[in-house]
Structure 1
Amino acid sequence: MEMSTLESSLPNELFDFIFLYLKPIDIVYSFFNLNGRFNNLVYPFICTIDLSNVDECTLNKYCQTILPKIHHYIKSIKVDDKNIGSVFPLWLYSKIYPNLQSLFITIVEKDDKYLSYLKLFKQLLNLRICYGNGEDYKTVSHELCSNLFQSDCRLQTLYFQNIYVPINPHIIQRCVSIRKLIIKLHSFDSVYVLLNNLPSIESVNIHIPQQQQQNDIEFHYYDKNIPLTLPKLKELVFYGTFSVNYDYLELLLSHWCSNLEYLALNLYIDQFIDGERLEKKLLSKLTKLIVFHFCFRIRVVDNTLNIDDYIQTYKSSYWINNNHSILCFNQPLQCPRYCVFSLPYMFDEFTYVTNDLVNYRSNVNDNILLHSKRNKAKKITLHNKVPYTLELFQIIQKSFPRAKQLVFIDAPVHFLSDNLLNNLLVMKKIICMVFYLDKLNFLHFRQLLLMTPNVLILYTLQSLMLDVLRNSQDSSFQPLQSICDRIRDLRIKRYVTTGGSTQIELLDSTAQRQPLIDQYDHKQEEKKRQREERKEMTLSLQNLLLSKSVQGAEPFSGADDQDPSDWLDEIETILAIANVKDDARTPIAAQCLSGDAAKWYKQAKATIDGSWTTFKEELITTFTATTQKLNISTKLQNRRQGLNEPVQSYYFDVLGLCTKLDHRMGEEQKLLHLQRGLKLSLAQMTIPFNPKTCLELLAQAKRSEAAAAIQTPVTSIATTRTVTEEVSEEMAAIQPHLTHRRQSYLHDSQQLKYFSYNTRGRIRQQQQERWPRSQPSTRWFGPSYRQQHPDYYSLSTECYSCGKPGHFARECRSSRANYYPKV
């Protein structure tokens, strides 16, 4: 009934989604043979069985219960080398898997159990053999060549990973079945021997990572052992990490591989190659070539040739018309070199990267970032004699988004520049880092780990790891704790000198790595104990400080003369110094209540429920008297900023009054109170900007106040009061004299009213006769007006000081002239 319900309730698409979260072996074990519907759902997992990374007990149970039922469906198997005997019994091999076509052998151990099955495996169509990452430089025995590269081999696809395959010209035979091949070889001689015996090859990927040993084989077009061509070869990928003789490779490609459609070359060569040579001697002869990718590390023979002149060789019509974007930068390794490569970068590894990558040159002025989404480099190998810069890691992050591994081959002890130490660049996609550095500054190593917070695999030398352990007690190691806890694969290497040569040995065994692990665990336990001790000491000090401070605080009884807001401010200051959290503040503050306030808390304790915010609101609402609110409201309404009062003092005073009046007062009301009391000069400068918050008003008022201080010196309040008092005293002293002068002025006005019109007209006529209007006035250059008209002054003037006619008070010579002070 349960199976019927499950079958009817879930559609097939949902089961496909569920299978994504299960291992293939568990899917087959759980759902096979339940009914016809589930057999159809798990059929793809039955045809392709994945038995890798399975423990021995589960594998034996699977082989006994499941494999006998599905063996005739199986077309492909993936299995670890150590379990190959359980999955492939030699005496039942042909009967158990009659339809088997492909086999993938993973994690090959040193004993190479699969070698005894090669005579059987060469009858398959596809075979893939992968050694562990720790066996990069191992060379397998000649059994591979004697069994697989033979005339009776039926394999069409053959892949070797992380292993060198020796090619013996005396053992290898002509094999016409192999179509696709991925292989690592020791030398270029092996390439020649291998391809000469694979006439039907269609796609080949050859890697020569070690230094080649040439046997001085001379290639000749008319040599009887060299075929005229490899007619079916359409795709060739050649990767030479160390020096490769480009002359031999050029000859091989131009004579053997004329039908190539895809060519990728990643070479480290000593011959000088430029765009002109590539075009004339190689690419022009590959008439069917469609795609060409390359990366050359070329030795600079002529020191007079700079990088700008070199990139010019890639600007011919051939390169431009075929849309070849070429980049070039300097590689100052043991000798000067140029690294020139095509875009997009189509190789898995980008090696010998230096700081000069930032200063690249392009033949079409393309930015490397334009092809970032198509660049396929997953491993970046850095090699530099100077500290790595921030700009280098930025261009790596932006230009190679698929990069997941960083390898540091050579660098100084302080291998990060100052700008990289001071600016944290986070590279979230890096999950693996490898160090071949025997010495490294811990601070630089710490910064690099902070740059790669998602790192899961770390290869490092023993000396560096010991340095890390020594610095693990330092406070700077704290941010690294979470990153180190996330690392799942830690491989420690050390230098071993044997027979006068120095090699790197991997500490794989538990006995070798256990001392380092024990030392690290001991450091961690000691660090944890010290952290707990510091925490307990901090808590004890906080409790002591809190008890002393609370005892010194004034109890709150709720009396009319006590302001609850002021009391709460004092209590909050004490609790903040003691670092008491909000959920623990209410019980501590309640201990300081007395009288009516204590009775109130007992009744409202259930309502408050330990909330500090509710406690404050209820206390202020309950114990704020009406008279206090009226006084606060009056103060707030009448509060005005003083003439010389700083705006900051006024701001906090008004906000304090607003809080006391109503702790729930909104921002708009507070802003209105602030604007109403601003002095006129600041109000005119701030209100037009229409500030939305109190902080915006304060910031604008401060700027206006600062501008006014620059234009006009600010006079202190004390100085202003002194000047005012002095002016008041002077005004009081001269007040009687001003009164007497005002009375004299009124008397003179009455006297002038009695002058007849005829007298005034006669005087005006005399003036016109003596000084006609046509003549210019000499009033300011000749005798005074009084001296020229003595009759007029004798009749109309009278001195206010002495009372005599004929002169003004300012001309009076009597002693009373000095009686009036100058105003």
Structure 2
Amino acid sequence: MNQSKVGLLDLPDEILLMILKKLDNIDVLYSLLDVDNQRLDIIAQGNIFINTLNFVFTTFTNDISSINDTMVDRFCRNILPRIHYNIKSLTVDSLSMERILFCVDYPNLTELKLFNFNGKIASHYFRDKGPFDGHFVRQITDLALVFQNTIYDTSTHYSLDTYRFIMQIFGNLKHLSIIGSYRWMFLDLSYHKSLPPSPVTFSSSTLTKLRIRVISYAACLAVLDGRFKQLRTLIVDIIDIDLHQSYVYNMDDLPNLKCFSLTTTSTCFMDMFIESIPFLFRRMINLEELTLQLSVIMGTVFIDGTHIYNNILIHLQQLRIFNFCICTDLRIDHLVHHLSKYDIQRTFSNAIYQDVDCMVQYGCNRATCHVFSLPFIFDYIGYIGNTFPSITFIHVRRLFVCDLVPFEHEFFIRIASCFPLLEHLSMYNIGPQLKVSTKLKSDNSRMNSIVKYSHLIWLELECVHIDYVEQFLNETKTHLPSLTRLTIYYSVLCNVTEDFTRYITRRNCIKVNQLNLGGGIIERSKDFNVYFPLL
């Protein structure tokens, strides 16, 4: 064989498969089926490429791409009729799902993931006499609904009837995930104190895993009121954990629950941490894995290892895995003395906890303390200041930084390094930057380095000194290649950009297609349109 002229078809099947496995399954099928080559045709129809298909042709981060109709039509007409019998897992985009799902039968399909959902689509598909009614849905055991990440969905909100229909028509459902979306898109499952308890309108005797976002802590209790008796794993994100309802729910033990995750970005008060949440854990008598993210307003002390043990771990004798991030906020007047990071860490016994780290920050009248397990597994962390550990927070996508001490250029270099996949950054700091910080004077290379946030999509600069707007929009200081959403005061934006004539601040604005302004009337001048051509 002449090695200088080796073609793809000259490779043995084993090597050819290794190469093709690196590609997306859809690309392989689209490229190799119907190319008039029997060998490639046989390889492409192998189970390794057919079992799991991902028909997601669009992304709805901030940019809406048009779907490739020709590609979808070819799949529906020529490819799916040949491979549909072997498909076990299917991921479909909302814009193409009706054509993909209903063009053929899927006798072995058990896993279905529907991307880029919204309230209007949910109300249309998940209802009596809807498209799914009477189709292949009873064989589905795993269902995931991924809502599109946009705040501009004004469609009809889905209701209890949507949940009831999902549980009714997907009669053998074992795993249900409802992911993404914003506050008003999620159902309040709790009973209102002004109304009598309504009968349980949806339940399941087969569901073993549920991932869901709910409005309140009371809604979380409603999920655990007995309607899902076989539930072994519950992953719940609570929007407002301190929102109470007066109705008393079924508080029986939950012996089947093995894995529980409770996360929230809202703040609760001390009684929630001391009373309500521990009472919930006492029902989970066989819990083996716990994930907990809380922010708590305390009266006089930080939450440390002793508090966590006495209020949580003492009730969970079967616990094997504990991932947590707990933030305490309190007034400094109530502190007898300032505790250091090491004072807090000493309260975590090595015999009980895994690796633990800590951040303590003091302001003029308030103090904040974070205690968290390592590795850090959460996608959000807030209220961190100039002092944070030099570890890599690989999972964090959303970050809120807040301090009274100015953030210098070196701080933003550390943020970019420690949060490499950051997508949403919000800031609070009204103190002006020093012209050249002492640390940067001693290291000229760092003083001149440009900070790059490769994945940053959304930047919030409302509650900041104008120096930080300069820090981020000036391309000689910061590079924001993915920025598409900017929250900022219009008057400050005009100032820093010199009424949209300053070239050095234009590059970081050029891809912005959502501009959230705090007051002020936009004058859409020619210069403004050049700055923001995608608005």
- Please give the range of the TM-score, normalised by the shorter of the 2 chains: 0.7 to 0.9
Matched, 1:275 2:286: no
Whole-Å Cα distance in 1 between the matches of residues 160 and 399 of structure 2? Answer: 33
Q: Which residue of 1 aligns with 2:162?
A: 144
Q: Which residue of 2 aligns with 1:40?
A: 43
Q: Which residue of 1 aligns with 2:279?
A: 251
Q: Which residue of 1 aligns with 2:501?
A: 473
Q: 1:32 to 1:239 in 2, by over 3 A?
A: same
1:87-118: CA deviations, max 9, x gaps?
233xx7xx611111111111124521433345
Work out whether residues 356 and 371 of structure 2, in 8 Å CA contact, stay in contact via their aligned partners in 1: no
Q: TM-score scaled to structure 1, two decimals?
A: 0.51
Secondary structure of the residue aligned to 2:373 is strand
1:41-81: CA deviations, max 9, x gaps?
45333222222114233312321222222221221222221
- Deviation, 1:174, is 3.6
Work out whether residues 383 and 402 of structure 2, in 8 Å CA contact, stay in contact via their aligned partners in 1: yes
Q: Which residue of 1 aligns with 2:125?
A: 114
Secondary structure of the residue aligned to 1:447 is helix
Q: 1:27 to 1:476 in 2, by over 3 A?
A: closer
Q: Which residue of 2 aligns with 1:299?
A: 329
Q: 1:469 to 1:396 in 2, by over 3 A?
A: closer
- Deviation, 1:129, is 0.9
Secondary structure of the residue aligned to 2:287 is coil
Q: Which residue of 2 aligns with 1:129?
A: 145
Matched, 1:266 2:293: yes
Aligned length: 477
Q: CA RMSD in A?
A: 3.9
Q: Which residue of 2 aligns with 1:78?
A: 91
Q: Which residue of 2 aligns with 1:627?
A: none
Whole-Å Cα distance in 1 between the matches of residues 514 and 340 of structure 2? Answer: 45
Q: Which residue of 2 aligns with 1:396?
A: 415
Matches within 5 A, 1:89-100: 89=102, 96-100=105-109
1:664-697: CA deviations, max 9, x gaps?
xxxxxxxxxxxxxxxxxxxxxxxxxxxxxxxxxx
When Rg is computed on C-alpha atoms for both structures, the one with the higher figure is 1
Amino acid of the residue matched to residue 112 of structure 2? L
Q: Which residue of 2 aligns with 1:380?
A: 399
Unaligned runs of 5+ in 2: 1-5, 58-66, 191-197, 442-446
Q: 1:387 to 1:324 in 2, by over 3 A?
A: same
Which residue of 323, 327, 341 maps to 2:358? 327
Whole-Å Cα distance in 2 between the matches of residues 106 and 466 of structure 1? Answer: 38
Amino acid of the residue matched to residue 260 of structure 1? L
Query: 335-344 or 80-89: which moved more?
Result: 335-344
Secondary structure of the residue aligned to 1:145 is helix
Q: 1:412 to 1:379 in 2, by over 3 A?
A: same
Amino acid of the residue matched to residue 148 of structure 2? G
Q: TM-score scaled to structure 2, two decimals?
A: 0.76
- Deviation, 1:429, is 5.2
- Deviation, 1:334, is 9.3
Matched, 1:207 2:237: yes
Q: 1:469 to 1:79 in 2, by over 3 A?
A: farther
Matched, 1:434 2:451: no
Q: Which residue of 1 aligns with 2:481?
A: 455
Secondary structure of the residue aligned to 1:88 is helix
Q: 1:295 to 1:61 in 2, by over 3 A?
A: same
Q: Which residue of 2 aligns with 1:242?
A: 266
Amino acid of the residue matched to residue 113 of structure 2? F
Matched, 1:351 2:382: yes
- Deviation, 1:299, is 3.1
1:175-202: CA deviations, max 9, x gaps?
2322222211000111111022222222
Secondary structure of the residue aligned to 2:335 is coil
1:104-158: CA deviations, max 9, x gaps?
1111245214333455546511111111211499854323321234597321221
Whole-Å Cα distance in 2 between the matches of residues 317 and 467 of structure 1? Answer: 49
Whole-Å Cα distance in 2 between the matches of residues 162 and 397 of structure 1? Answer: 25
Work out whether residues 137 and 162 of structure 1, in 8 Å CA contact, stay in contact via their aligned partners in 2: no
Higher strand share: 2
Amino acid of the residue matched to residue 210 of structure 2? L
Q: Which residue of 1 aligns with 2:53?
A: 49
Amino acid of the residue matched to residue 265 of structure 1? L
1:524-550: CA deviations, max 9, x gaps?
99xxxxxxxxxxxxxxxxxxxxxxxxx
Q: Which residue of 2 aligns with 1:411?
A: 429
- Deviation, 1:521, is 5.1
Unaligned runs of 5+ in 1: 220-224, 359-367, 498-511, 526-823
Secondary structure of the residue aligned to 2:43 is helix
Whole-Å Cα distance in 2 between the matches of residues 394 and 252 of structure 1? Answer: 42
Q: 1:415 to 1:235 in 2, by over 3 A?
A: farther
Which residue of 223, 230, 235 maps to 1:194? 223
Q: 1:435 to 1:60 in 2, by over 3 A?
A: same
- Deviation, 1:159, is 1.2
1:728-768: CA deviations, max 9, x gaps?
xxxxxxxxxxxxxxxxxxxxxxxxxxxxxxxxxxxxxxxxx
Q: Which residue of 2 aligns with 1:289?
A: 319
Secondary structure of the residue aligned to 1:396 is helix
- Deviation, 1:346, is 1.9
Q: Which residue of 2 aligns with 1:182?
A: 211
1:239-297: CA deviations, max 9, x gaps?
121133222111101x2222222212111223454432322232122122122222222
Q: 1:248 to 1:396 in 2, by over 3 A?
A: same
Whole-Å Cα distance in 1 between the matches of residues 493 and 13 of structure 2? Answer: 51
Work out whether residues 399 and 425 of structure 2, in 8 Å CA contact, stay in contact via their aligned partners in 1: yes
Larger RCO: 1 or 2 (CA < 8 Å, sep 6+): 2
Q: 1:521 to 1:190 in 2, by over 3 A?
A: closer
Q: 1:144 to 1:424 in 2, by over 3 A?
A: farther
- Deviation, 1:416, is 7.8
Work out whether residues 72 and 97 of structure 1, in 8 Å CA contact, stay in contact via their aligned partners in 2: yes
Whole-Å Cα distance in 1 between the matches of residues 293 and 364 of structure 2? Answer: 18
Amino acid of the residue matched to residue 299 of structure 1? D
User: Percent of aligned positions with the same letter in both sequences?
Assistant: 18
Whole-Å Cα distance in 2 between the matches of residues 319 and 517 of structure 1? Answer: 62
